[in-house]
Amino acid sequence: MKVALVGATGMVGQVMLKVLEERNFPVTELIPVASEKSVGKKISFKGNEYTIVSMQTAIDMKPEIALFSAGGATSLEFAPKFAEAGTTVIDNSSTWRMAADKRLVVPEINANILTKEDKIIANPNCSTIQLVMVLHPLNLKYDLKRVVVSTYQSVTGTGKKAVDQLNAEINGNDGVEMAYPYEIFKNALPHCDVFADDDYTKEELKLMTEPKKIMGDDSFNLTATAVRVPVQGGHSESVNIEFENEFDLDEVRKILSETSGVTVLDDVTNKIYPMPLYSEGKDEVFVGRIRRDKSQPNTLNMWIVADNLRKGAATNAVQIAEYLVENKLV
């Protein structure tokens, strides 16, 4: 099982390496790929050193699986070339997510749609993954009507440059390169990704479209506001969910507690609720502050938190790869 890791030196790429090792994914040969300036450098994996190679070298080695986390332009150019060589690509960028002929997969929800013919598989947006992990089981029971989500997103979602900016501002250091148009420390920016023509950001539009594709259901409405906050690790979401049918709060908690990959932290008497502080380094999606919306019927409020670099990116991609191997699709 030869596995190429495209973007091996990046923030998500490094977490992918960690997740592959932790989950003992059956890698017989790792092929780390990065930018030309990194070619020839070494990275460690499972106690061994591997040399970073160029994109073309990796394609010529015909790996069974290529995990991509190197940005949209790289994916657009090179994912098809890997696919043509017979490699199954699992791509973490937004490039292929809404393409009609590409699968958008959260394994706990819709891995069963994958076939051997799916050579480029899209990994959803980090904020989308944690949202649908909670929405899907509730939709099956109560039938979604409308979802309103507001995000509180970690700077790690932007990358190393944003982490460096936050840490420089915390430490009072000047001269650091700015990842954001404003300071992020002691601030909140209602500006994740770039603005589209309709004044929504790309991040908000991803949240509004990807869940419907993953869940195979476009009968409900969804709107989003995405906000960047000075947190280093872990995205949070305030979610308001209107159902077609009435629900019971205890049953909601039971459904979620029995959902694989979801952990309910919902005991306000003892101040137990999800926080980014607790999610960092973990693969679960945490949900709490589950309560009825008193302003209208059949409506629920909740708070969802997950590590955006793990389940929101690296872990979900590796889980897709695990499904492919277990079901002999590669």
- Give me the active site residues, please: 126, 235
Residue written as token pair 């191997």: 325
Listed in sequence order, the residues at least 6 apart from 100 whose beta carbon sits closer than 8 Å to its beta carbon are none
Residue 155: strand, helix, or coil: helix
The secondary structure of residue 314, as a DSSP letter, is I
For every residue of 7-19, DSSP letters joined together read TTTSHHHHHHHHH
Q: At residue 132, what are phi and psi to the nearest 5 degrees?
A: -70, -25
Using alpha carbons, select from 148, 159, 129 the residue that is nearest to residue 225. 148
Q: Single out the residue of 93, 108, 142, 95 nearest to residue 248, CA to CA.
A: 142
Question: For the packed helices 249-257 and 126-142, what is the interaxial angle rounded to 10 degrees?
Answer: 130
